[in-house]
Amino acid sequence: MATRPPSEQNPDNSQKLKLQLLDKSLKRYQYQQDALIEILHTAQETFGHLDEAILDYVSIHLKLPPSWVYGVATFYNFFTLEPQGDHVCVICMGTACYVKGAAEIVTKLEEIFEVKAGETTADKKLTLMTARCLGNCSLAPMLTLDGEVLGKQTPESTAAAIQEKIAAVDTCQEKE
């Protein structure tokens, strides 16, 4: 088990900076085991996902078994072990959202974007996820798109919102 993620073996400046941010977080929480979730949040915000090397790094520095760190990272739906797409859509599948059509939204998005829930499109533009409940039942069916809450959605309105986000990024990249 290494004490540095593999990216640290031949790090570029951005990787060094990312690792420094994670180290600062570990230090800020004084390497306390009960700060695991906060530290994992910092790691995910910094690296974009929690790969095995990052989980091992946190495990070593917090003196926790790797299985414990992995268990926490996989238990909560806001952590991801794989790189996500440019855009992330999380559809609430709680009772209120499900009854009001969340499953139809998922089915339509899977069809349009050729991706299954829990996966990322081949072009890495969209990650489609579901969650048991996002806690906004009055907006059912609701979802988050890149962290923004969208309520009272239909399959069509959700697809349009995603296509708009993808088009905006594509337009910006063409200008560069």
Q: 33-86: per-residue pLDDT in tens? A: 999 999 999 999 899 899 999 999 999 999 999 999 999 999 987 898 989 999
Q: Could you tell me which of 26, 83, 82 has the C-alpha nearest to residue 58?
A: 26
Residue 81 falls inside a structural domain = no
Residue 19 falls inside a structural domain = yes
97 marked among binding-site residues: yes
3-state secondary structure of 31: coil
Range of the domain at 135: 87-175
133 marked among binding-site residues: yes
> Scanning the structure block, which residue is given the tokens 């697809």?
159
Residue 117 falls inside a structural domain = yes
**Separation between Cα atoms, residue 88 and residue 50, nearest integer Å:** 16
**Separation between Cα atoms, residue 173 and residue 164, nearest integer Å:** 14
Torsion of the alpha carbons at 28, 30, 33 and 38, rounded to the nearest 10: 0
Question: Which DSSP helix (H) or strand (E) runs through 65?
Answer: none
The answer to whether residues 160 and 98 belong to one domain is yes
| Last residue in a domain, options 75, 104, 119 | 75
Summarize pLDDT for 88-121 with one digit per residue, the tens.
Answer: 999 999 999 999 999 999 999 999 999 999 999 9
The domain total for the chain is: 2
